[in-house]
Amino acid sequence: MARSHDKLAELAARLESEFRVKTLVIAKDLSRPTAVDEIYEEVSAASMTVEMLVNNAGFPVFGLFAQTQLETELEMLHVNVIALTALTKLFLRGMVERQAGRILNLASTAAFEPGPLMAVYYASKAYVLSFSEALANELRGTGVTVTALCPGPTRTGFQKRGVMEDSRLVRGQIADAKSVALAGYRAMMSGKTIVIPGFSNKLIPWVVRVSPRGVVTRVVRRMQERVTT
C-alpha cells in the first residue's frame, strides 16, 4: 500500500513473476481520514489473510515550529500516528483470533530524544515507539509480536520530502534503505520488540539516558541545522 499506483503495480508484477505470489495493489493517501477504512474493506473483500503488517508510511516536516504549516503537520500526524494506530487496530484482531501474526512499526532513533527543527516529527516517532512497546507487552503469549524499527538517517526520499537535503543530519555517509529494511525484517521474524540498525545508533538511547536533557536538545538542534556555505 502506498500513494503511487504505478510504482506499486510495477513492484507487484515483479514479485508475482519472481516469487509466484498473489498481490493486491491498493493506492491510498493515508493523510485522508477515510483511507484506513477503505484499505481494510478492500483487503477484507479480497478475502486475504494478513499475517504480517508493516507500518512504514511517514514523512517529516522541517523547520521552526512557529514558522511551519499547521495543515502539513496535521497531515503528518495523521500518517505517522493515527493511520498507523488504526491499521494496527483493524488487522490485529484477526491475528489475535488466529494466534499468529507479526507487526513491524517504523519508529526512529528520533523516538529517544527531542528534535528541534523537527519537533512534531520527533514527537510522532516517540509515540510509535511507546505504542509498539506497550502492545508487545500486551500481546505476550498470544502468538502475535510487535517490533519497532528505529533507524537513524537513511538514504530515501525522506530528505527531499522534508526539504532538508542540506541538514547536517543527512549529509555525508548515512544508511541505505536495503540494509535498514533487512534489519527490520529479521527483527520482526525473530519477535524482537526493538531493533536499532547500526552500532553508533545503538548508543543513542544510552547517551540520551545519561546526559542532561538540555544538552541532548542542544546537540540535536546543532545536528539538524542547515549547512551554510
Residues with a catalytic annotation lie at: 121
Left, alpha or beta for 167 (phi > 0: left; psi -120 to 50: alpha)?
beta
Cell reading at 90:
483493524
Nine cell digits for residue 79: 500518517
Helix (H, G, I), strand (E, B) or coil at 39: helix
- C-alpha cell, 222: 546543532
- In this structure, what C-alpha cell is assigned to residue 164? 532538508
Alpha helices in the chain (DSSP H): 5-19, 35-45, 70-77, 84-98, 119-138, 158-161, 177-190, 199-210, 213-224
Cα–Cα distance between 115 and 97 in angstroms, integer?
Answer: 39
Report DSSP state, residue 148.
Answer: E
